[in-house]
């Protein structure tokens, strides 16, 4: 975009959001050049910081008229480059749209602006014994609008489901600037499930400005167990064993030795550094019946060869354990200057095979791969640590990355469980879907955004020209 | 595939608003694209047909001729991996057949759409109508990990996959949920199964007044002690059924709590009933029925307004909805006015079953429905020839 064009755009935007609501200086725009997927960055031509749905609608109408593309962005914690303005254009940040608009405990609903953080929803609901169930590791920073765009998950989605299972209604600004309301506070609105289509669409179908989310009763009680294994296979077999026994834990997370050690050195939570892997299992619900489930989980762990099974004895110990889990990936950052986190999903029963093959891929490419992931969902998060200054190592990381994704697809899985396609996994979409699958998805997109103004270049790869 | 005009063996002639299908076809997967092409060439609309449990609900078909596309040859369990709790079923698979396969592995599909055991998986997805288990176990869309379907032009497509979490591409199973056959023909669905709960009980109570029955359940929920499902059935006396499912310790404890709470609310306990909730459907002989969706906590009010004028109803206080019906052919304007004035301003209303002549001048779906302009845009993109169920969806799309 030329200087004159940008100045004109800025002037029009300032009329809507005020002078301090538009950023055009390069240093200011630099802040919005990407998200937590750091391999690719691109400068937006301008950044707008609206406060209301109406302001968003007016901005979109201006951009539509000018043919300027728009990348909606929350906190920028995404891991797939979904918020990276690869084609420039306008970044529309929801950071000034962070208000909780209503908490309705009897209806079990909370309505918030798109820029409200995930954690703020649960905080607002806590006095009523309710919470917003999806709990991505980024929940303190990540926004509900971003969670909706990516269909975010988290450790407790094993029992409670992902974002799409907890959204009742959305206020959306469409590509032509029209404002519409999707879904219903009464649930299952007649007609196609447009809320379900929009959740996870990565900002390519419309800009979500308000979210009405369902609240879940907070568990009366819980039992959190830490099982210590000397053998990785025993740990993964335990995961399958617990599910097969008919128990649905609230969460079931596996942490391997590399990450155990990194966590222990950084956070001192008392993890045994010599263990091959640990499994964190949480069962929750009403107090009666919890011991029965926890005893059953412990028995399965021991039968599979756990050398030790600990139970968190109070809320503090439990909180420390979860803090360690959620910061696990972060502590790996201490092992090397750079890191890439994968998000493949495999059928749960293929876990032992998948982990063995991931380790083999790592050895063959002489890179360090470590694992901390949602074992109960089969959602792998192999982390590869490397040094970006070492160009040979970067090449080996890229090859290993691709092989791991292809492995997940070959095992009947998915290229992404909760981080989204963005730009990172664009080239893997053809490994998962055939041409007609992708054509139908493109047709859906074209129906809602024919000029491709909303987050262009994401989610769907360009068709191969004949 | 049936080539004549008649229905396959054992299938009643499909009727839509009193009009018989001009032809019934029942293609298998290899014949489906040809069947669609034949319909297009014949200038006929295509209406996918599962068990027929929900097909009566919809705006009038906008077509001179129509073919019923029976999914009975798109039936059967395609794959089942018990350790993964993942099962793939053809669209025409009856729910009963799916449950039998799962039960053998100690699992189940905790959905109870209208049609009971004969409801098909594809129909359950396309209709978007769930039974009483909806509130705790989710809708069939919440359990659909992936879907395979075919566009009206014969192009097959799929989305999702066989794993628990998957955000690759658009979730087209969600788009087809509630689409009532207007966008594509569902051919198979990949579903997440659940372990069978070790214990299942159903408590029953009688209440002299319907509002009292519903408020008693709403109060349980206010205390965040939700049963697994709750059904309230018109009386007199109104009957409350509470499903309690889970591990044996929990079920025993909850039953004790619920008994105390409902007795304190003035309800009389009746003998326990079968472990399954009643079917979410109007009485067979009722010519008029409406479904009112409302936010949680408003069901008692809605039923309170309609109990005196309707001939019967069932209500789902956990999901927030009531299904009311009239047995004698009622006066149209009086029923429309009564139901519309009882409906929640922040809810939706579906005329589940009404005589064909009523439909000519009304919208079957009212209130907070899927944005008809968006549905129309999606319809133009996926079915530009307007072959699949033209006119039947929200806003006569």
Q: How far is B276 from chain A (nearest CA, A)?
A: 20
Q: Does the distance separating the beta carbons of B164 and A345 come in below 8 Å?
A: yes
Q: Does the distance separating the beta carbons of B296 and A285 come in below 8 Å?
A: no
Q: How far from each other are the two terminal CA atoms of chain B, in whole angstroms? A: 29
Annotated domain spans of chain A: 3-93, 100-217, 221-330, 336-410
Any A CB within 8 A of B345 CB: no
Any B CB within 8 A of A442 CB: no
**Choosing among B113, B141, B167, B316, which should be mutated to test the A contact, i.e. which has the most A CBs within 10 A?**
B167
At B296-334, the pLDDT tens digits run 999 999 999 999 999 999 999 999 999 999 998 789 999
At A54-93, the pLDDT tens digits run 999 999 999 999 999 999 999 999 999 999 999 999 999 9
- Name the CATH topology of A3-93: 3.30.43
Nearest to B381 among A199, A201, A444 (CB): A444
pLDDT band at B6 (very low <50, low <70, confident <90, very high): low
Nearest to B224 among A129, A415, A429 (CB): A129
Any B CB within 8 A of A429 CB: yes
Q: Does the distance separating the beta carbons of A192 and B178 come in below 8 Å?
A: yes
Contacts of B139 in chain A (CB under 8 A): 188
CA angle A168, A170, A173 (to 5 degrees): 170
At a CB cut-off of 8 Å and minimum separation 6, what does B210 contact?
A: B232, B234, B235, B238, B300, B303, B304, B307, B313, B315
Query: Is the CATH number 3.30.70.2190 carried by domain A221-330?
Result: yes
Any B CB within 8 A of A416 CB: yes
Q: Does the distance separating the beta carbons of A417 and B163 come in below 8 Å?
A: yes
Q: Compare all CA atoms of chain B with the CA of A190 and give the residue at the minimum distance.
A: B369
At B265-299, the pLDDT tens digits run 999 999 987 879 999 999 999 999 999 999 999 99
pLDDT band at B259 (very low <50, low <70, confident <90, very high): very high
Any A CB within 8 A of B224 CB: yes
- What is the structure's pLDDT at A333? 79
With b for 16 or more beta-carbon neighbours within 10 A and e for fewer, the B304-326 pattern comes to: bbbbeebbbbbbbbbbbbbbbbb
Contacts of A345 in chain B (CB under 8 A): 161, 163-166
Length, in residues, of chain B: 397
Nearest to B177 among A184, A193, A443 (CB): A193
CB atoms closer than 10 angstroms to residue B190: 23
Q: Does the distance separating the beta carbons of B250 and A289 come in below 8 Å?
A: yes
At B72-84, the pLDDT tens digits run 999 999 999 998 9
* % of chain A surpassing 70 pLDDT: 99
ipTM attached to this prediction: 0.97
Any A CB within 8 A of B377 CB: yes
* % of chain B surpassing 70 pLDDT: 98
Any B CB within 8 A of A284 CB: no
- What is the structure's pLDDT at A119? 98
The verdict on whether omega for the bond into residue B6 sits within 30 degrees of 0, i.e. cis, is no
Q: Does the distance separating the beta carbons of B250 and A286 come in below 8 Å?
A: yes
Q: Does the pLDDT of residue B245 top 80, yes or no?
A: yes
Nearest to A189 among B151, B173, B348 (CB): B348
- How many angstroms separate the CA atoms of A198 and B175, rounded? 9
Q: Compare all CA atoms of chain B with the CA of A196 and give the residue at the minimum distance.
A: B174
Residue pairs spanning A and B at CB distance below 8 A: 288
At B138-197, the pLDDT tens digits run 999 999 999 999 999 999 999 999 999 999 999 999 999 999 999 999 999 999 999 999
Which CATH number, 3.30.420.10, 3.20.20.150, 3.30.70.2740, 3.40.50.300, labels domain A336-410?
3.30.70.2740
Interface of A with B in 47-76 (CB under 8 A): none
Q: How far is A171 from chain B (nearest CA, A)?
A: 11
CATH class of A100-217: alpha beta
Interface of B with A in 9-68 (CB under 8 A): none
Any B CB within 8 A of A183 CB: yes
Nearest to A201 among B170, B226, B247 (CB): B170
Any B CB within 8 A of A247 CB: yes
pLDDT band at A234 (very low <50, low <70, confident <90, very high): very high
Q: Does the distance separating the beta carbons of B138 and A192 come in below 8 Å?
A: no
Nearest to B130 among A151, A188, A416 (CB): A188
Q: Does the pLDDT of residue B2 top 60, yes or no?
A: no
β-bridge mates for residue A143, sequence order: A117
B359 CB-side CA count, 13 A: 29
Q: Compare all CA atoms of chain A with the CA of B318 and give the residue at the minimum distance.
A: A107
Q: Does the pLDDT of residue A355 top 80, yes or no?
A: yes
Q: Does the distance separating the beta carbons of B253 and A292 come in below 8 Å?
A: no
Contacts of B128 in chain A (CB under 8 A): 188, 190-191, 193
Q: Does the distance separating the beta carbons of A432 and B321 come in below 8 Å?
A: no
Q: Are the CB atoms for A378 and A416 separated by under 8 Å?
A: no
The verdict on whether omega for the bond into residue A275 sits within 30 degrees of 0, i.e. cis, is no
Q: Compare all CA atoms of chain B with the CA of A185 and give the residue at the minimum distance.
A: B295
**Choosing among A189, A353, A412, which should be mutated to test the B contact, i.e. which has the most B CBs within 10 A?**
A189
- What is the structure's pLDDT at B1? 54
Q: Does the distance separating the beta carbons of B293 and A189 come in below 8 Å?
A: yes
Contacts of A191 in chain B (CB under 8 A): 128, 178-179, 365, 369-370, 372, 375, 393-394
- What is the structure's pLDDT at B5? 47
pLDDT band at B7 (very low <50, low <70, confident <90, very high): low
Residue A299 is encoded by which pair of tokens? 């028995």
Contacts of B164 in chain A (CB under 8 A): 158, 345, 348, 376-379, 417
Contacts of A164 in chain B (CB under 8 A): 171, 174
Q: How far is A202 from chain B (nearest CA, A)?
A: 9
Q: What is the mean pLDDT of residues A364-389?
A: 92
At A274-314, the pLDDT tens digits run 999 999 999 999 898 899 999 999 999 999 999 999 999 89
Nearest to B169 among A164, A169, A459 (CB): A459
Residue B94 is encoded by which pair of tokens? 């009856």
Q: What is the mean pLDDT of residues A349-353?
A: 91
- What is the structure's pLDDT at A277? 95
- What is the structure's pLDDT at B3? 47
Q: Do domains A221-330 and A336-410 have the same CATH topology?
A: yes
Q: In A90-205, which ranges are E strands?
A: 90-93, 100-104, 109-113, 130-131, 167-173, 179-183
Contacts of B368 in chain A (CB under 8 A): 169, 181, 183-186, 189
Q: How far is B81 from chain A (nearest CA, A)?
A: 9
Q: Does the distance separating the beta carbons of A345 and B195 come in below 8 Å?
A: no
Q: Does the pLDDT of residue B4 top 50, yes or no?
A: no
Average of per-residue pLDDT values in chain B = 95
Contacts of B381 in chain A (CB under 8 A): 443-444, 446-447
């Amino acid at each position: 975009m030329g200087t004159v064009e940008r100045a004109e755009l800025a002037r029009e935007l300032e009329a809507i959001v005020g002078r301090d609501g538009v950023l055009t200086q390069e240093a200011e725009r630099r802040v919005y050049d990407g998200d937590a997927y750091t391999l690719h960055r691109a400068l937006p031509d301008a950044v707008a910081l609206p406060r209301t749905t109406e302001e968003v609608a007016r901005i979109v109408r201006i951009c539509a008229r000018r043919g300027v593309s728009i990348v909606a962005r929350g906190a920028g914690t995404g891991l797939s480059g979904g918020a990276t303005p690869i084609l420039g254009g306008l970044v529309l940040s929801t950071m000034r749209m962070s208000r909780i608009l209503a908490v309705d405990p009897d209806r079990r609903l909370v309505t918030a602006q798109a820029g409200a953080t995930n954690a703020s929803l649960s905080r607002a609901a806590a006095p009523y014994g309710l919470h917003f169930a999806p709990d991505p590791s980024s929940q303190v920073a990540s926004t509900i609008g971003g969670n909706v765009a990516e269909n975010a998950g988290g450790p407790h989605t094993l029992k409670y489901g992902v974002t799409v299972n907890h959204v009742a209604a959305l206020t959306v600004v469409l590509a032509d600037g029209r404002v519409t309301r999707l879904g219903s506070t009464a649930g299952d609105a007649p007609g196609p499930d447009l809320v379900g289509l929009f959740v996870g669409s990565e900002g390519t179908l419309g800009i979500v400005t308000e979210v009405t989310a369902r609240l879940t009763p907070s568990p009366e009680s819980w039992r959190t167990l830490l099982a210590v294994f000397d053998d990785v296979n025993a740990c993964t077999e335990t995961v399958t064993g617990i599910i097969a026994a008919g128990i649905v834990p609230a969460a079931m997370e596996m942490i391997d030795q590399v990450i155990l050690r990194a966590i222990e050195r950084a956070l001192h939570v008392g993890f045994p550094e010599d263990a091959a892997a640990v499994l964190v299992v949480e069962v929750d619900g009403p107090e009666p019946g919890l011991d029965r489930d926890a005893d059953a989980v412990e028995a399965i762990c021991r039968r599979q060869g756990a050398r030790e099974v600990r139970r968190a004895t109070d809320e503090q110990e439990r909180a420390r354990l979860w803090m360690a889990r959620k910061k696990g990936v972060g502590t790996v950052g201490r092992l090397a200057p750079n890191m890439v986190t994968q998000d493949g999903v495999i059928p749960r029963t293929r876990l032992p095979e998948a982990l063995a093959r991931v380790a083999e891929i790592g050895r063959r490419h002489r890179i360090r791969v470590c694992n901390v992931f949602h074992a109960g969902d089969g959602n792998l998060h192999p982390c590869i640590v490397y040094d970006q200054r070492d160009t040979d190592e970067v090449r080996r990381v890229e090859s290993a990355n691709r092989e791991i994704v292809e492995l997940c697809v070959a095992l009947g899985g998915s290229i992404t469980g909760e981080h989204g396609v963005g730009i990172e996994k664009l080239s893997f979409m053809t490994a998962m879907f055939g041409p007609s699958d992708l054509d139908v998805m493109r047709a859906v997109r074209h129906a809602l955004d024919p000029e491709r103004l909303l987050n262009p270049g994401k989610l769907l790869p360009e068709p191969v020209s004949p | 595939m049936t080539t004549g005009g008649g229905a396959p063996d054992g299938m009643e002639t499909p009727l839509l608003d009193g009009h018989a299908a001009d032809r019934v076809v029942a293609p298998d997967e290899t014949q489906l694209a040809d069947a669609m092409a034949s319909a297009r060439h014949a200038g006929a609309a295509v209406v996918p047909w599962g068990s027929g449990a929900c097909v009566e609900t919809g705006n009038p078909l906008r077509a001179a001729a129509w073919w019923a596309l029976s999914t009975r040859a798109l039936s059967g369990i395609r794959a089942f991996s018990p350790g993964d709790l993942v099962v793939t079923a053809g669209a025409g698979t009856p729910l009963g057949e799916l449950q039998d396969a799962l039960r053998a592995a100690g699992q189940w599909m905790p959905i109870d759409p209208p049609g009971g055991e004969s409801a098909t998986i594809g129909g359950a997805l396309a209709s978007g109508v769930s039974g009483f288990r909806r509130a705790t176990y989710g809708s069939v869309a919440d359990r659909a990990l992936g879907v395979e379907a075919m566009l009206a032009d014969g192009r097959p497509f799929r989305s999702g996959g066989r794993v628990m979490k998957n955000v690759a591409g658009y979730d087209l199973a969600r788009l087809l949920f509630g689409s009532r056959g207007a966008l594509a023909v569902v051919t198979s669905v990949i579903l997440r199964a659940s372990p069978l709960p070790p214990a299942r009980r159903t408590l029953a109570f009688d209440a002299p007044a319907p509002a009292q029955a519903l408020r008693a359940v709403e109060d349980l929920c206010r205390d965040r002690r939700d049963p697994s499902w709750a059904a309230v059935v018109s009386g007199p006396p109104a009957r409350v059924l509470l499903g309690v499912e889970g591990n044996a310790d929990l079920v025993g404890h909850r039953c004790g709590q619920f008994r105390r709470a409902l007795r304190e609310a003035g309800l009389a306990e009746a003998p326990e009933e079968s472990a399954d909730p009643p079917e979410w459907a109007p009485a067979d002989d009722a010519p008029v029925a409406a479904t009112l969706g409302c936010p949680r906590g408003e069901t008692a009010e809605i039923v309170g307004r309609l109990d005196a004028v309707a001939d019967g109803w069932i209500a789902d206080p956990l999901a927030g909805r009531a299904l009311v019906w009239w047995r004698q052919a009622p006066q149209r304007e009086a029923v429309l006015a009564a139901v519309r004035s009882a409906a929640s301003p922040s809810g939706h209303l579906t005329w589940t079953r009404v005589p064909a002549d009523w439909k000519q001048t009304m919208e079957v779906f009212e209130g907070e429905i899927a944005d008809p302009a968006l549905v129309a845009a999606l319809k133009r993109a996926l079915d530009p020839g307007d072959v699949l169920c033209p006119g039947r969806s929200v806003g006569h799309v």
